[in-house]
Amino acid sequence: MRILGLDYGSVTIGVAVTDPLMMTAQCLTTIKRKSENKLRQTFAALEAIIDEYHIEKIVLGFPVNMNDTLGERALKTLEFRDRLTKRVGLPVILWDERLTTARAQEILDETGFKKDRASRKQIIDQLAAQLILQNYMDYISGGGKDEDLP
């Protein structure tokens, strides 16, 4: 079994995947689209990844506000989750992604990654997806269960 991790943004989706032994999350790619509402090609790209890596579950970063409220981005993520679930027929688990993008930026700064802004953004999206997925895997390996999540 392998799990896919997604960091869903307005025009990009960072993608990460577990290794075959489900020990680590690894950056995979960034899917770009021309408009937030244009999802047909995005879903096709995700379906290809799901087939190639034999994905059985998806963990989707859920951008809850720091005060635990749901903003516009969270509502769009819920809509994306519903459409993705319907399209691919796999369970899609929401995972609190607070501060993952900030942590991804810190990691790039710590490693001295100095490329142009576009390259950095693409890596940050992938790294955020990796952090989301690794945090979920740590939760599961610690005895957490999907049904206990909100």
Tens digit of each residue's pLDDT (9 = 90 or more) over 3-25 = 999 999 888 999 999 999 989 99
Establish if 72 belongs to a structural domain: yes
Establish if 58 belongs to a structural domain: yes
Establish if 30 belongs to a structural domain: yes
Retrieve residue 65's tokens.
Answer: 């506000």
CATH number for the domain that contains residue 70: 3.30.420.140
- Mode of pairing for the β-strands spanning 25-32 and 12-18: antiparallel
How far is residue 75 from each of residues 17, 22, 23, measured CA to CA in Å? 24, 30, 31
Interatomic CA distance for residues 54 and 20, integer angstroms: 10
Establish if 148 belongs to a structural domain: no
Q: How confident is the model at residue 109 (pLDDT cuts 50, 70, 90)?
A: low
Establish if 149 belongs to a structural domain: no
**pLDDT tens column, 50-90:** 999 999 999 999 998 778 788 888 899 999 999 999 999 99
Residue 139 belongs to domain spanning = 2-143
Interatomic CA distance for residues 22 and 146, integer angstroms: 16
Amino acid found at 75: L
Establish if 9 belongs to a structural domain: yes
pTM for this structure? 0.87
Interatomic CA distance for residues 119 and 71, integer angstroms: 28
**pLDDT tens column, 88-101:** 999 999 998 876 77
Establish if 32 belongs to a structural domain: yes
Can you say whether residue 26 is alpha, beta or left, with left for phi > 0 and alpha for psi between -120 and 50 degrees?
A: beta
Establish if 15 belongs to a structural domain: yes
Q: Where are the beta strands (DSSP E) in the chain?
A: 2-8, 12-18, 25-32, 55-62, 92-96
Task: State the total domains in the chain.
Answer: 1
